[in-house]
Structure formats: structure tokens, C-alpha cells
């Protein structure tokens, strides 16, 4: 027997919508869905709900289409601060202009790409998501995204942002995020220009932790500050701002064309290779002002990360690097560090040092420059230089050797200033003027054949050697057998046209030597300090005091 089954007629499939237009003096709230809550259309050509009457508003409270939004989308907000809100899902691409106040509470989502010659304008970008790419068509047919604010949560782009995209942001509130490339694999290109007309406030974030900002891409704050957090996977473009009090993190490479360019000062943190891979610091950090507070520039070594020969850190402010500020380069340092004025803080190079450091004024008391560590010795290599124009009262420490061709060039070695070399010194130590009575030059394993220490090197005035010079292990007890030590180099204390060249400090040599040659020491002035040699337990001690000789006669 046949049966007749009576049921509800199925919903027709969604169709295209041509134009939605608001007319008349009305407020409109619109839902674009089928009765069973399925998407309300495939494509929409045009949503024109901007009535041009400021007393009224339009809202899309809930909408979904499976296809494209083709031409334009506009919602109106009233002068009373109502409406202009859109809660909608576009199942495919956004291909035309979009203007509204803000997404609704459930957000506004473009499930695929934004592409073409179009402008997105949002007073508040919170909850607006583009899951695909943002692709401008050309230099004259760009995608322009204008975000007044991101007040909460996030404005998100899931994929690539190409070079024909401009993103303009007024403000990101504390707790809010601008996120690009978040749905993609690492190294998704971020080529657009992001321009901020306000500060990145404390607690606000820019998350590009999977994005490669390449040479076309920049984050431009102009005369505004970075107080929040910026995370970038790989940087080849520029980050330009006034002050940095927040955090900028480059997870992998800081490329040769990249820069952090600050017109003001830095009290925050800039770090490179935080993923701890084999990525390098190659770009430039340019700070017109000072490094203040607890400012930190850090290069993580990871598996093989280094501060390469093209890398630059330049601090140009009147106060330079402050007492609590620091630069920590865990790998080798091959590039350039320039401080226009004082270095009062700390610089540490974890690996070998073959770059150039220039301090335009004081290497202040309490400051330190370290090569290597107690856990891993590192050397100052040939071609490396450390230059101080003003007074040197800090500690310069090399845990390994100073190689032939390396240069320390100091104006003077001031009160409490120290040069500490745990290995051998085969390079040059030039001190243009004098050494202070409380200063110290200490070389534990010896002054080797090419090693040269010159005090009053400029020979311009009456400067003297008032501090101590110690060659050997300072921890050797008075009655213990001493370690081998070399003294095949030269120490000169020169006089100037008006005198000087006096030795008022003490020169001590502790250790055994390969031969019985006298030590080369030339003092051009008077000697009121002491010279001593300790050779306890040595098989072939130098037997003829005074142990020192001057064969080169460098005196005026």
C-alpha cells in the first residue's frame, strides 16, 4: 500500500542579492539569513545603508552570505551615537569598499581574501577578521584600511598583506591587538605600510609573530611612541617611532635592510632571534636619544645567531647608555656600536668580538664592556676596536685573548678604570693621556710578541702612568709556584714636549718564562713606582735584576 508523507517544503537555496538600499527617515535593523538560520545569499552586489541623514542609523544585526561582497558596503551611524554596526560573515571575498562604525558583538568576518582597489573604513576595528590575504592591485589601485581605534580584542588578517596595502591606525587600546598573518605558516609576507597617528599604548599589541615584514613593509609611528608590544617573525622593513618604552621582539632574523629607528629615547626592550634558532642581527638600531632606565637590546645566540658585520647600534643622545641600560649580544659581535656620548651601562658580547665600538664621551665608572663569560671564554679578534674619546672609568673585560690587530684606544684610564684580559694580549692598548692611580691594566696569560701598551701615546702633554700594570695570575699566593706567563711584548710610558712619561704606579710580573730575556719596558720620565718580578718555582728564572730593559728608545 502506498503512503503519502506530508512534510515541510525545503528552503530554497540562497540566491544573489543585487542592492540593499535604505531610504526615508527611518532607523533600519536588518538580518541577512534564511528562516532556518542558513546564509541569506550567495553574492551581494551592493549594500548601501548610508542614508546621508545624520539623525538616523542602520544596523545589520546578523548576516551571512556564501559568496562575495562585490561593490560596496556602507552603514550609517547617527549623530546620537547609534548604529553603524555590522555583524556579518562574508563566505568568500570582499571586493569593494566597506564603511561602518564597528563590527557587531559577534564580529565581522571575511572568510577569504580582500582584493582590488578598495577602502575599508572602521571607527573601531575590534572584531573585524579577514581570514585570507589582503591584496592591492597596484600602486594606484591599493587596498586602504582606515582604523580609528581597536578598542578591545583584535583586528585580524589571517594571511598575506601585499605591497599595495596601506593600513592606517589611530589608536590600539590596552588589551587590544592588531594581528597579521595569524592563520598562516611562519614567514607569510607582510609588505604593506602600517601607519599610526597615535601611540601604541601600554598593554596594546601588534602581533605579527608569523609574518615576515619584508623590504616593502614598515610600521610607522612617526612622532608617536611604542609603549605596548610588537612581535614580528622576521623583519626586513623598518619600525619608526619616537620613544620605545615597550617591547619589540623579532623572533628570527633582523635583516640587512631592516631598522628600528627612534627619534627619541629607549627605555624598553628590543630583542632578536627569540626563537633561539640560527638567525642573525644584521640590521640597524638607530636611537637619536638615550638608552634610559632598564633599556635592553638583546641578540639571542640560539643555535648560531650573531651580530654580523653589517649590523649597527647607534645611540646619539646627550646621556648615551644609562647606568641601568644594557646591550647583550650572546653570539659573536662583528658589527658597529656607536655611542655619541657616555656609556654608563653594560654591554656584553657572548662570543668573539671582531667589530667596532666607539664611545663619544665617557666610559663611565660602573659601566662595563664584556667579551665572553666565566662559562665560555671569547676573544677580541684582529680588526676589532674599542675607542673612547673621553674618560674611561669602567671595566673592559676580555675572558679570552686580545689578538694581533685588535685595538683598545682610550683617551685616558680614569679613576677605577680597568682593562682586564684573562688570556694573552697580542694586540695594542693605546692610552692617549694618563692612567689614574686607582686604575688597573691586568693581563693574566701575558703580553705576547706583538702586544703593545703605550701610555701618553699622543705625546702632547705631561701625562704619566699612575695606575698599576699586572701581568700574570693575580690569585697566585706569595709562596706558591707560579704559572707560565709571557712577556715578549712592549710597554712604553712616553713623555711629551712639556715633560711627563713618569711611572708612578706599580708594574708586576708573576710567572715563568720560556727564556731569560729581559722584559721590554721604556719609561721616558722618572720612576717613583715599583717594578717587581715573581718567579717562584721557575726552572729558568731571569737572574739579573732589574729584569727590565728598553732597547727601542721611543722617548722625546
* CA–CA dist 92, 122 (Å, integer): 20
The answer to whether residue 4 sits within a structural domain is: no
- What pLDDT, on the 0 to 100 scale, is given for residue 514? 83
Least confident of 30-44, 304-318, 356-370, 530-544: 530-544
Query: Over the stretch 183-223, which tens digit does the pLDDT of each residue have?
Result: 998 999 999 999 999 999 999 999 999 999 999 999 999 99
- What pLDDT, on the 0 to 100 scale, is given for residue 13? 79
Helix (H, G, I), strand (E, B) or coil at 548: strand
Question: Domain span at residue 169?
Answer: 17-549
Indicate the number of domains in the chain: 1
Tell me what the mean pLDDT of segment 147-176 comes to: 97
The answer to whether residue 1 sits within a structural domain is: no
Burial of 350 (0-12, 13-18, 19+ CB in 10 A): buried
The answer to whether residue 554 sits within a structural domain is: no
Residue 11 in this model has a pLDDT that exceeds 70: no
- Among candidate residues 421, 441, 432, 459, the one with its CA nearest the CA of residue 555: 459
The answer to whether residue 484 sits within a structural domain is: yes
Residue 340 in this model has a pLDDT that exceeds 90: yes
Query: Over the stretch 233-247, which tens digit does the pLDDT of each residue have?
Result: 999 999 999 999 999
Query: Over the stretch 75-119, which tens digit does the pLDDT of each residue have?
Result: 999 999 999 999 999 999 999 999 999 999 999 999 999 999 999
Least confident of 10-14, 130-134, 355-359, 431-435: 10-14
Residue 488 in this model has a pLDDT that exceeds 50: yes
Q: What is the pTM of this model?
A: 0.94
Query: Over the stretch 272-331, which tens digit does the pLDDT of each residue have?
Result: 999 999 999 999 999 999 999 999 999 999 999 999 999 999 999 999 999 999 999 999
* CA 390, chain centre distance (Å): 27
Burial of 37 (0-12, 13-18, 19+ CB in 10 A): exposed
The answer to whether residue 330 sits within a structural domain is: yes
The answer to whether residue 312 sits within a structural domain is: yes
- What pLDDT, on the 0 to 100 scale, is given for residue 546? 81
* CA–CA dist 499, 402 (Å, integer): 31
- What pLDDT, on the 0 to 100 scale, is given for residue 554? 94
* CA–CA dist 76, 247 (Å, integer): 38
Residue 3 in this model has a pLDDT that exceeds 70: no
Mean pLDDT of the chain: 95
Residue 22 in this model has a pLDDT that exceeds 80: yes
Residue 4 in this model has a pLDDT that exceeds 80: no
The upper half-sphere exposure of residue 12, i.e. CA atoms within 13 Å in the direction of its Cβ, equals: 5
- What pLDDT, on the 0 to 100 scale, is given for residue 539? 84
Q: How would residue 148 be classed by pLDDT, with cut points 50, 70 and 90? A: very high
Residue 7 in this model has a pLDDT that exceeds 50: no
The answer to whether residue 360 sits within a structural domain is: yes
Residue 338 in this model has a pLDDT that exceeds 50: yes
- What pLDDT, on the 0 to 100 scale, is given for residue 334? 98
Q: Which percentage of the chain shows pLDDT scores above 70?
A: 98
Residue 385 in this model has a pLDDT that exceeds 80: yes
Which runs of E-coded beta strand occur in 236-291?
A: 238-241, 247-250, 259-262, 269-272, 284-287
The answer to whether residue 425 sits within a structural domain is: yes
Amino acid at each position: 500500500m502506498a503512503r503519502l508523507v506530508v512534510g515541510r517544503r525545503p528552503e530554497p537555496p540562497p540566491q544573489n542579492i543585487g542592492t540593499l538600499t535604505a531610504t526615508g527617515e527611518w532607523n533600519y535593523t536588518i538580518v541577512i539569513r534564511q528562516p532556518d538560520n542558513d546564509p541569506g545569499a550567495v553574492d551581494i552586489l551592493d549594500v548601501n545603508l548610508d542614508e546621508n541623514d545624520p539623525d538616523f542609523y542602520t544596523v545589520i544585526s546578523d548576516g551571512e552570505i556564501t559568496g562575495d561582497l562585490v561593490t560596496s558596503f556602507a552603514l550609517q551611524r547617527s549623530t546620537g551615537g547609534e548604529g553603524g554596526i555590522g555583524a556579518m560573515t562574508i563566505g568568500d571575498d570582499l571586493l569593494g569598499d566597506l564603511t561602518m562604525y564597528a563590527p557587531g558583538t559577534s564580529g565581522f568576518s571575511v572568510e577569504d581574501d580582500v582584493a582590488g582597489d578598495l577602502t575599508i573604513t572602521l571607527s573601531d576595528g575590534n572584531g573585524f577578521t579577514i581570514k585570507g590575504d589582503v591584496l592591492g592591485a597596484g600602486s594606484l589601485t591599493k587596498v586602504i584600511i582606515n582604523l580609528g581605534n581597536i578598542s578591545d580584542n583584535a583586528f585580524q588578517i589571517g594571511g598575506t598583506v601585499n605591497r599595495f596595502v596601506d593600513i592606517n591606525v589611530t589608536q590600539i587600546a590596552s588589551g587590544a591587538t592588531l594581528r597579521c598573518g595569524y592563520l598562516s605558516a611562519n614567514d607569510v609576507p607582510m609588505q604593506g605600510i602600517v601607519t599610526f597617528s597615535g601611540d601604541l599604548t601600554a598593554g596594546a599589541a601588534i602581533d605579527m609573530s608569523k609574518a615576515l615584514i619584508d623590504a616593502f613593509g614598515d610600521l610607522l609611528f612617526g612622532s608617536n611612541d611604542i609603549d605596548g608590544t610588537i612581535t614580528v617573525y622576521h623583519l626586513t622593513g623598518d619600525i619608526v617611532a619616537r620613544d620605545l618604552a615597550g617591547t619589540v621582539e623579532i623572533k628570527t632574523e633582523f635583516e640587512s635592510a631592516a631598522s628600528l629607528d627612534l627619534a627619541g629615547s629607549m627605555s624598553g626592550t628590543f630583542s632578536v632571534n627569540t626563537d633561539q634558532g640560527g638567525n642573525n642581527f644584521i640590521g640597524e638600531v638607530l636611537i637619536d636619544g638615550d638608552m634610559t632606565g632598564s633599556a635592553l637590546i638583546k641578540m639571542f645566540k640560539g643555535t648560531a645567531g650573531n651580530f654580523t658585520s653589517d649590523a649597527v647600534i647607534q645611540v646619539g643622545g646627550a646621556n648615551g647608555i644609562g647606568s641601568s641600560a644594557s646591550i647583550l649580544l650572546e653570539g659573536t659581535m662583528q658589527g658597529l656600536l656607536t655611542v655619541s656620548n657616555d656609556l654608563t651601562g653594560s654591554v656584553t658580547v657572548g662570543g668573539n668580538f671582531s667589530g667596532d665600538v666607539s664611545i663619544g664621551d665617557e666610559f663611565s665608572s660602573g659601566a662595563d664592556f664584556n667579551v665572553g663569560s666565566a662559562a665560555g671564554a671569547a676573544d677580541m679578534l684582529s680588526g676589532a676596536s674599542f675607542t673612547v674619546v673621553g674618560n674611561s672609568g669602567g671595566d673592559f673585560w676580555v675572558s679570552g685573548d686580545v689578538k694581533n690587530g685588535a685595538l683598545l684606544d682610550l683617551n685616558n684610564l680614569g679613576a677605577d678604570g680597568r682593562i682586564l684580559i684573562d688570556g694573552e694580549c697580542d694586540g695594542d692598548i693605546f692610552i692617549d693621556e694618563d692612567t689614574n692611580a686607582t686604575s688597573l691594566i691586568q693581563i693574566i696569560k701575558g703580553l705576547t710578541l706583538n702586544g703593545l701598551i703605550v701610555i701618553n701615546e699622543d705625546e702632547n702633554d705631561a701625562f704619566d702612568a699612575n695606575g698599576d700594570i699586572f701581568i700574570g695570575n693575580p690569585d697566585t699566593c706569595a709562596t706558591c709556584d707560579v704559572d707560565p706567563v709571557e712577556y715578549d711584548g712592549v710597554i712604553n710610558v712616553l713623555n711629551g714636549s712639556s715633560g711627563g712619561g713618569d711611572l708612578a704606579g706599580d708594574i708586576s710580573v708573576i710567572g715563568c718564562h720560556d727564556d731569560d730575556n729581559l722584559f721590554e719596558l721604556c719609561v721616558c720620565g722618572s720612576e717613583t713606582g715599583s717594578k717587581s718580578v715573581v718567579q717562584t718555582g721557575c726552572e729558568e728564572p731571569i737572574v739579573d735584576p732589574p729584569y727590565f730593559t728598553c732597547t727601542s728608545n721611543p722617548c722625546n
